[in-house]
Amino acid sequence: MTVPVVPGYCSSPCGGLSPQRHNRGGLRWLASTFAVLLALCLTVASAQCASANATVEAMAGQMLMLGFRGAEPADAGPILRSIAAGHVGGVILFDRDMDPSVRVRNIVSKEQLSRLTGALQAAAPVPLFIAVDQEGGRVRRLKPEYGFFAYPSAASLGKGSPEDTRRMASTLATEMAEVGLNVDFGPVVDLAVNPSNPVIARLERSYGSDPCRVASHAAAFVNGLAWRGVVASLKHFPGHGSSLQDSHLGVTDISSTWRREELGPYALLLRDDWAGMVMVGHLYNNRIDAAHPATLSQRTIDGLLRRDLGWKGVVVTDDLQMGAITARYSLDETVRLAVEAGADILLFGNNLVWDEGLAEKVHATLVRLVREGKVSEQRLRQSWERIMRLKSVLTVASPGAIAQGDSSGTAIAPVPAVPDPTGAPRPLRLTLPMPRGDEPLCRDRDTLQRDPFDDRQGARYGRGTGIGIGVGTGTGIGIGQ
């Protein structure tokens, strides 16, 4: 049994065990037992000292997810080198490049994609997040012309049963796992409360306008993905459904359109500690944070999402190269504010604006901000532990098996579990409970329709605490009972 050496982890020898010479059967048994105990000892030792010994460079690398050009390993040299150096902890794949002169981005066929993901994982010292946007309908990177199934839109699925959604998602996850993909940036849990919304409702990306129905279908989608070990990401917090603009183009101001009911699906889905992500959108709401959009807002991420809704898992930003961010913030400001806000993974699609050296540039920026004292090392450690904990549930297919089309999912390079600050083990699961019709949120429809910032209405969401985020004199967002 081989125990991987993970950069940033320490290991201590596990002495005192030596197989004795007995009969051959006993020797084999002792050797096998020794190997198991040694592996267990090293894993436990690694977990115990992981948090204290991870370097700033290692932690910063795990917090970065980048896009890149190249469909074959031979064409993806820069990103492979960044991955091997530990400067990138995840990648996002696209089927087309925004530059029309670039004919091929990352996805051409199942066979090609398997070769690419195999090379990416083989280069990674720690299992790599390999993500795509595969919602179904019009937002899908895995298309029939590349050999994949055509999946229905969320709007179409929302008219049927959650069980149908689960079955569809399990088929989708099977295809993803077969080609080495382990993160899906879906499901969308935005409510279709604005039928003219250019980026949600018009593209049929929402399961509907009812929070409980959306939550039920989203849970089914998450559980379908979990069947093959694919990690889901709910998006776009705190709710993109009421917006009037597309955040790819500029700041999306939802201050006057956002409704409290848009938090409903999150309140139902984030009550439990499960292995997933929440993607925060470039959504500006001056009643929550008058200074920054949600992706860069501590009040939104650490306040509303973590403190009030109780989310303990990984938070990923939407693409930080979107116009909503680049038009207003420098790279230094973007990285610093996102990390200070509580984001764990900084996503740079590197597609809207191409920069071959972006991975090294962003990594160096984050490390420098820590060295200069502008971002605390402890803040990086918090994100690193969340990411390592999520990666501990990944099953990564062997690169050789992937290249040969074997989808058995042989586990390699497991990540030692990182204990929480109390030292208690906290096993994660990929699935989450389906919302029930008798949930308080589902019963009290009137509550969901009231003014989202009138705390005199006594808002109730889920089972969290009754803490609110102050956003001005006499206003607040009440979350809890």
Catalytic (active-site) positions: 248, 318
Would you list the DSSP string of 252-311? EE-TTT--GGGGHHHHHHSSS--S-EEEEP-EE-TTT-SSS-GGG-HIIIIIIIIIIT--
CA 235 to centroid of chain Cα atoms = 10
Contacts of 60 (CB under 8 A, 6+ apart): 87, 363, 366, 367, 370, 380
The conformational region for residue 86 under phi > 0 = left, psi -120 to 50 = alpha, else beta, is left
Degrees, nearest 5: CA angle 262-264-269: 125
Amino acid (one-letter) located at 18? S
92, 65 contact by CB (below 8 A) = yes
Structure tokens at 147: 């050999």
Alpha carbons within 13 angstroms on the beta-carbon side of residue 389 total 28
264, 208 contact by CB (below 8 A) = no
366, 63 contact by CB (below 8 A) = yes
Closest by CA position to 295, among listed 306, 286, 284, 287:
284
Within 422-473, where are the H helices? 440-443, 445-449
Q: DSSP secondary-structure letter at 250?
A: S
Query: How far apart are the two ends of the chain, measured CA to CA in Å?
Result: 50
229, 181 contact by CB (below 8 A) = no
Structure tokens at 112: 């090609």
Contacts of 481 (CB under 8 A, 6+ apart): 440, 460, 462, 463, 464, 466
